[in-house]
Amino acid sequence: MELQKSCSQLSLKTAKDRLLAFWNIFEKEDNVLVVINADPDALAAALAVKKLLRYKVKSVTITHPNEIRRVNNQSMVDRLKIPLIRLKEVKADDYAKLVMVDSQPNHLPVFEKLHFNVIIDHHPLGGEWKESSFVDIRPDYGATSTMMVEYLRAAGLKPSIALATALFYGIKVDTQNFEQKSLLADGVAFRYLFTIANRDLVRKFELTDLRRSELKYFAQALDALKYSKGRYYTHVGKVRSPDVLVIVADFLNHVGEIDWVFVSGIHGEKLVVIFRCDGYRKNAGKIAERSFGGLGSAGGHKGAARAEVPLKNLELGDKEFTSDTLKRFIMRHIEAKKP
């Protein structure tokens, strides 16, 4: 079948060719299900698909299997009024066509049970997906949102302020403000959206990290804070989400005289440790591995890293994990073998 192209073949087509091949999958009476693993880039890409198919199909429904826990993402969904239905609440057989964006069928077990007619993604190729009629996977792109901007522009469709805001935020998040891998295409799409998107709203998404109930963790972190040789160590205790440890670590990393920040907490049955430094002649990923790699999963980048260790592996006995315990674990490795 002519439409069943590999991603490498599709990537050689023009934006107009890809758009026409995408549209050719659908019929006027189709009910379409767009399946995502909900995050900013996926949410934005799904909204773009909805725009592209507005007058091409009978209906478009966006669904996701994951609970949206991050406050930033909840804010994006609420403020942009993104219509979502949990995957467990829909029957895939009720839909004529299934579309997956910003993911691939092998990413989650629940996806493997579904047959997707269309896959559009920017992550590394996870399979051949020969059963899908249209596959556009471009791992060199920084965000699926960039790809969707190209589809919209090829269709001559100007995004609404809400859609432009979602796509703009999706690109910012997945490229980490262009600090991660990206192409000129990402920059072109970003610039195109710049004058359409509500950038104040994007800033609100970025700043919305905490619930009011989580402010107590800052008090706990500051109360337990230990300082030694330009390093901060603090153990927050039990946390509702590991994300709050990241926020606390980033906050402490703003202090000018501090070279290293180590923040830990208990989530479920695991100790989670967040590492921060400036990444200049330092390597947070290596320190994370040396400190906790033998006890659980640990690693990361030069400036930021994370470790997750089952509590049973710590062999603390009846003792509680404290800021001093955290300091001992780190000191043993940061002093003996500096990165």
Q: Which two tokens stand for residue 54?
A: 């507005």
Pick from 275, 262, 276: nearest CA to 321: 262
Which pLDDT value is given to residue 226?
95
Strand order, beta sheet including 231-238: 226-228, 231-238, 260-267, 270-277, 304-310, 297-300
pLDDT at 108: 87
Q: What per-residue confidence (pLDDT) applies to 317? A: 73
Same domain, 29 and 69: yes
18 and 152 inside one domain: yes
Asked whether residue 38 is domain-assigned, the answer is: yes
Q: What is the DSSP string of 90-131?
A: S-GGG-SEEEEESS-TTSSHHHHTS--SEEEE-SPP----TT
Residue 305 lies in a domain: yes
The answer to whether residues 16 and 136 belong to one domain is yes
Q: How many whole angstroms separate alpha carbon 20 and alpha carbon 299?
A: 43
Per the structure, the count of domains in the chain is 2
Which three-class secondary structure state does DSSP give residue 303? Answer: coil
The reply to whether 247 and 133 lie within a common domain is no
Q: Which of 190, 207, 224 is the last residue of a domain?
A: 207
pLDDT at position 192 is 98
Residue 261 has what pLDDT?
96
Res. 6 pLDDT band, cuts 50 70 90: very low
Whether 246 and 230 share a structural domain: yes
CA 112 – CA 104 distance, rounded (Å): 9
Domain presence at residue 339: no
> Could you give the C-alpha distances from 3 to 9, 52, 200, 294, in angstroms and in order?
10, 18, 41, 49
- Encode pLDDT of 39-91 as tens digits: 999 999 999 999 999 999 999 999 999 889 888 899 999 999 999 999 999 99
Do 175 and 276 fall within a single domain?
Answer: no
Average pLDDT over the chain, rounded to whole? 90
The CATH number of the domain holding residue 219 is: 3.10.310.40
Query: Is residue 25 in some structural domain?
Result: yes
Mean pLDDT across 175-179: 89
pTM over 0.85: no
User: Which of 207, 236, 264 delimits the end of a domain?
Assistant: 207
| Residues 184 and 222 both lie in one domain | no
- Quick check: 319 pLDDT over 90? no
Q: Does 33 reside within a domain?
A: yes
CATH of the domain at 195: 3.90.1640.10
Q: Indicate the pLDDT class of residue 335, thresholds 50, 70 and 90.
A: low
137 & 237 share domain: no
pLDDT one-digit tens code per residue, 233-263:
999 999 988 889 999 999 999 998 899 999 9
On whether residue 301 sits in a domain, the answer given is yes
Lowest mean pLDDT among 160-164, 265-269, 335-339: 335-339
Polymer length in residues for the chain = 339
* Helices and strands, number each (H, E), in the chain: 13, 12
Domain edge (last residue) among 160, 178, 207 = 207
Q: Match 């994990």 to its residue by tokens.
A: 321
The 10 Å CB-count burial string (b at 16+, else e) for 215-251 is eebbebbeebeeeeeebbbbbbeebebbbbbbbbbeb
pLDDT digits (tens, 9 = 90+) for 286-313: 999 999 988 999 988 888 899 999 999 9
Residue 2 belongs to a domain: no
Residue 173 falls within a domain, yes or no? Answer: yes
Q: ∠189-167-135 over CA atoms, to 5°?
A: 80
144-160 residue pLDDT tens: 999 999 999 999 999 99
Phi-psi category of 237—alpha, beta or left, where left has phi over 0 and alpha has psi -120 to 50? left
- Residues 148, 292, single domain; the answer is no
Mean pLDDT of 99-105: 96
Q: Which two tokens stand for residue 336?
A: 């003996």
Same domain, 284 and 302: yes
338 or 174, higher pLDDT: 174
Residues 250 and 129 in one domain: no
Residues 182-230 pLDDT 10s: 899 999 999 999 999 999 999 999 887 777 888 899 999 999 999 999 9
| CA distance linking residue 273 with residue 271, whole number of Å | 7
Residues 197 and 237 in one domain: no
What domain range is 102 assigned to?
7-207
Instruction: Please report the pLDDT score of residue 63 as a whole number.
Output: 97
